Chain A
């Protein structure tokens, strides 16, 4: 694995900053997303809210569906693999998807190991709930990190929890000496070299995005103000009453996240947002964020 290859992967993540990545289930939705200003689309057969409703094993999407979406839009197309399922990842690489999400939204294929992402030319994004998880994924080769949140819930509370946790753990590292960093590395279960790097940079060495429960322009603004460099919107767009207006609004909300007057006008008269779930009412074994190690 050459260093330049990793730089090229992180390079694409840099280009996606300040944009919105939208989950789409067919070429028609992908068209709506690109027209609304999405910076990339995530092609998947069932968005998280539907996976929750329907249950069953969730796998990588049908290559036919991914290809149809690649044909429809000119922006980057991402797709998901099950945690640890490197064969699905090899197939997505053969399809030339632009980014692979090793995602807790699908049913995990390996309860112990994640994919060794350095082996791939395609960059990977992985979810995290805390800094240790983020750094383990970066150690395996992830070129972008996102919060896990609670996918398909339409509820922002978990994404906020995860972003705040990562941010406060990073801040803590910046106050520590080398002796403390080694103990902290053990505590976090994270590679020492990456812990040192984060302590020095005061931020993750790869872009840090937000995902899992974003449903409104205000949610996008909240995550940006908490330090996210862009947002993924999964079920929030295509489970809402008027996907195109909502998609346009969230794209603008990410750019003008710190301007409340503008956010008020962007949010004005959007039709109904997705229904949403109370996290306390989701049994622990059904919480997607618990997947990943």
Chain B
């Protein structure tokens, strides 16, 4: 029997559905997470895009901060946009209480309002390969400071936009909007050969 991981998607608010589509495409099991007890059975967690003020509000009311911090000690977390903001250490807004999972300081909406949102190509370095991908930045945050244990996987205009610390990955843009799966694969160590094996079994 092949061990199949179950990845949670934090579904308090945000673009949960797009991440679910990526995990389905990768033939992964996933769980929509709205109660902190649900973290117990999971092998990884995605914190999607959305509004970090709203996420903080709902995480506080439903006691998510401590369980996610515990979870992060030995399970991988992937955060996109507001997810990255929540994973950081410091945010320039009093209503946002980040989790401090990656040693980052971020500036919310630093690329400007929606009229300044954009799609552009940028190179990503993952597992020794460099790959050019399409990146969609929506009212995106900027990383303003990174700790010494944080690895930069991609930059946009010489500013870091994909970072990794330990098993965790955070991005200021939305790979889930462009059906880009490499970050999900990298964060949750999804092995292509296992999936191929599984699909050949199914066939």
Q: Is the interface of B mostly helix, strand, loop or mixed?
A: loop
- Docked Cα-Cα span, A118 to B71, in Å, equals 44
> Would you call A18 and B14 a contact (CB within 8 A)?
yes
Q: Which B residues between 5 and 37 are near A, CB-CB below 8 angstroms?
A: 11-18, 34
Question: Which A residues are CB-close (under 8 A) to B168?
Answer: none
Return the contact of A34 from the options B34, B49, B53, B108 (Cβ within 8 A).
Answer: B53
B51 to chain A, nearest CB (A): 5
**A200–B33 alpha-carbon span in the complex (Å):** 28
How distant is A31 from chain B, measured CB to nearest CB, in Å? Answer: 10
A34 pairs with B95, CB closer than 8 A: yes
Task: Tell which of B115-123, B148-156, B158-166, B185-193 binds the partner.
Answer: B115-123
Encoded as 1 (CB less than 8 Å from any A CB) or 0, chain B from 43 to 72 comes to 000000111011001100100000000000
Distance in Å: Cβ of B32 to nearest Cβ of chain A: 11
Closest beta carbon of chain B to A144's beta carbon, Å: 12
Q: Is the CB of A122 within 8 A of B115?
A: yes
Per the CB 8 Å criterion, the residue count for chain A at the interface is 36
- Cα of A212 to Cα of B54 in the assembled complex, Å: 22
Residues of B within 8 A of A226 (CB): none
Knowing A251-B58, A252-B61, A256-B34 touch, does A96 contact B14 (C-beta < 8 A)?
A: no
Contact with B51, one of A36, A39, A121, A254 (Cβ below 8 angstroms)? A39
A35 at the interface (CB under 8 A from B): yes
Task: For A255, give its contact among B12, B115, B117, B136 (CB under 8 Å).
Answer: B12
Q: B93 near A74 (CB under 8 angstroms)? A: yes
- Number of B interface residues at 8 Å Cβ cutoff, please give it: 36
Inter-chain CA distance A77–B11, complex, in Å, is 23
Note all chain B residues with C-beta closer than 8 A to A254: 13
The residues of A that contact B81 with a CB separation of less than 8 Å are: 15
Q: Would you call A8 and B119 a contact (CB within 8 A)? A: yes
Chain A residues with Cβ below 8 Å from B108 are 74
Please determine whether B14 and A15 come into contact, CB atoms closer than 8 angstroms: yes
Once bound together, how far apart are the Cα atoms of A38 and B57, in whole Å?
9
Residues of A contacting B49 in the complex (Cβ-Cβ under 8 angstroms) = 14-15
**Cα–Cα distance between A14 and B54 once the two chains are bound (Å):** 15
**Given the complex of chains A and B, what is the CA–CA distance between A34 and B51 in angstroms?**
10
Interface string of B109-134 (1 = CB under 8 A from A): 10011111111000000000000000
A sample of 12 inter-chain contacts (CB < 8 A) reads A14-B17, A15-B49, A15-B82, A17-B13, A18-B16, A36-B57, A37-B58, A97-B113, A99-B114, A254-B13, A255-B11, A255-B13
